[in-house]
């Protein structure tokens, strides 16, 4: 299976999961209107909980597959650790990123991470929204 087929399959799975969760939300609203159906509310809750446990790993897998193109760039070990952390965990602030890089490499200073993030933003690999950093969507989506 090619990378594009895998991405298409993942997108399809994500859309289906979102649709199922939306339907379960609607069922929950309907059940809430009828007190005699209260016992079904717990069943719907557990279905949603189970589905959401699969939702996040699918998103992580999608980010990791998208990461292949980003990693083709020539980058140093700290920058690579930052990108891997953002791919696995999603949007994070600088303290969270520093902790992740430190966990991967054994050492990391906030100053170094900040400098590397700035360089990655200049390359268009990372974007900042407020105090949070994430992989640049247009670069990852290609």
Domain boundary among 18, 53, 71: 71
Contact between residue 36 and residue 30 where contact means Cβ atoms under 8 Å apart? no
pLDDT of residue 10: 81
Q: Taking residues 13-20, report their average pLDDT.
A: 87
pLDDT of residue 84: 87
Q: Is the pTM of this model over 0.75?
A: no
Contact between residue 135 and residue 125 where contact means Cβ atoms under 8 Å apart? yes
Q: Are residues 81 and 117 in the same domain?
A: yes
Residue range(s) defining the domain that contains residue 133: 77-141
| pLDDT band for position 109 (cuts 50, 70, 90) | very high
Q: Are residues 42 and 92 in the same domain?
A: no
Name residues whose C-beta falls within 8 Å of residue 71's C-beta, 6 or more positions apart in sequence.
Answer: 80, 83
For all residues of the chain together, what is the average pLDDT?
84
Q: Which of 31-35, 99-103, 107-111, 131-135 has the lowest mean pLDDT?
A: 31-35
The position carrying tokens 């992989």 is 135
Q: Are residues 65 and 84 in the same domain?
A: no
By the 10 Å C-beta count (0-12 exposed, 13-18 middle, 19+ buried), 96 is classed as middle
Q: What is the DSSP letter of 36?
A: G
Name the H helices within the chain: 3-33, 38-71, 77-89, 94-105, 110-122, 137-141
Q: Are residues 56 and 83 in the same domain?
A: no
Who wins on pLDDT, 56 or 118?
A: 118
As for how many domains the chain has, the answer is 2
Percent of the chain with pLDDT over 90: 32
Q: Are residues 56 and 82 in the same domain?
A: no
């Amino acid at each position: 299976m090619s990378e594009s087929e895998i991405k298409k399959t993942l997108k399809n799975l994500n859309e289906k999961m979102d649709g199922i969760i939306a339907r379960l939300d609607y069922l929950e609203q309907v059940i809430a209107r009828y007190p005699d159906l209260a016992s079904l509310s717990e069943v719907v809750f557990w279905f949603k909980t189970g589905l959401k446990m699969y939702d996040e790993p699918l998103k992580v897998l999608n980010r990791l597959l998208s990461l292949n193109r980003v990693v083709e760039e020539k980058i140093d070990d700290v920058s690579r650790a930052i990108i891997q952390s953002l791919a696995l965990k999603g949007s994070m602030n600088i303290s969270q990123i520093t902790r992740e890089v430190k966990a991967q490499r054994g050492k990391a200073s906030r100053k170094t991470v900040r400098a590397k993030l700035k360089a990655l933003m200049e390359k268009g690999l990372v974007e900042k929204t407020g105090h949070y950093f994430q992989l640049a969507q247009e670069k990852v989506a290609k």
